[in-house]
Chains A and B, each alone.
Chain A
Amino acid sequence: MTGDGFFAVDSLRGMWVLLIDDDRSSRELLTDILEHCGALVTAVASAETALGVMRHVKPDVVVISLFHSQRDARWLIKEVRARKPEEGGMIPAIVITGTEPGTGFEGHLIHPFDPWQLCRLITNITTTA
């Protein structure tokens, strides 16, 4: 159920999402959802790889789902926020967690979540600046 007249398809067209997820099946699932909504998705398995990507390019938003890694979402967002704005330090970030909300993120989702909620959240945090 999407509600509010929200149409997921194409809602993320023109958005570049950097997805960081250390679980392969979850990474594929989230990539499918985001691409279905029209996003360009770059999916990586670790926080370090994500920082490597961000040395080259500036995606529009990061979605972080790290449950098995030492370098977790909090570590990653600290590294990102330490960068200058022109180096991507202000990029909006969404964290996916098991229970408690994370601080320092523009958006937060708790498992299990409605797939369309993810797309809607991205739309919300990237258009209300």
Chain B
Amino acid sequence: MGRHDHLPTDALVGIHVLIVDDDPDARELIAVVLRYCGALVTDVGSASEGLRLLTRIMPDVAVCDISMPERDGYWFVREALGQPVERGRSPLPVIAITAHGEIHGPDRTLPAGFQAHIRKPIDPWELCRLVASLARRA
């Protein structure tokens, strides 16, 4: 069945997205979709690198893989939400990404602090819609 709606190519203009994923292919594929939809994208290969970035810049939303060696997605979301937030700003929304068939379902990721949960293979439209709706605006 063909999908009728096309990707909204300007839906993410003005949104800065941080991608945290240890798999470079996944990172690149997610980045290319978000950029196509107009987002400014920064991607990093580990949770600790992602956290380090958060000390320097405040993205509008983050997309984070759950299973990563060393620090995983749960660690990242815990640390990110533990960071001080500028007055008048909401905490960083983080979207969880899990591989199909993994044991981490929304029943685990959402209580852990993730705002949304997407399974691989990722539907690009669903990803863009979530990023657009969750992005915090200054």
Contact = CB atoms under 8 A, between A and B. Distances in A.
Partners in one complex: yes
Interface string B1-13: 1111111110000
Q: How large is the interface on B (under 10, 10 to 19, 20 to 34, 35 or more residues)?
A: 20 to 34
Interface in B1-47: 1-9, 23, 25-26, 29-30, 32-33, 36
B129 interface: no
B3 A87 contact: no
A42 B32 contact: yes
Given A14-B8, A40-B36, A54 B2 contact: no
Given A15-B7, A129-B1, A58 B122 contact: yes
A16 B25 contact: no
Nearest to B126: A58
A127 B124 contact: no
Interface string A40-80: 10100000000011111111100000000000000000000
Contact of A60 (B3, B25, B26, B121): B3
Contact of B122 (A56, A92, A129): A56
A59 B124 CA distance: 7
A110 interface: no
B123 interface: yes
Given A13-B9, A53-B25, A40 B33 contact: yes
Contacts of B5: 14
A57 B122 contact: yes
B2 A57 contact: no
Contacts of B124: 16, 57-60
A121 interface: no
8 contacts: A14-B7, A15-B6, A40-B7, A54-B121, A56-B120, A57-B120, A60-B2, A60-B3
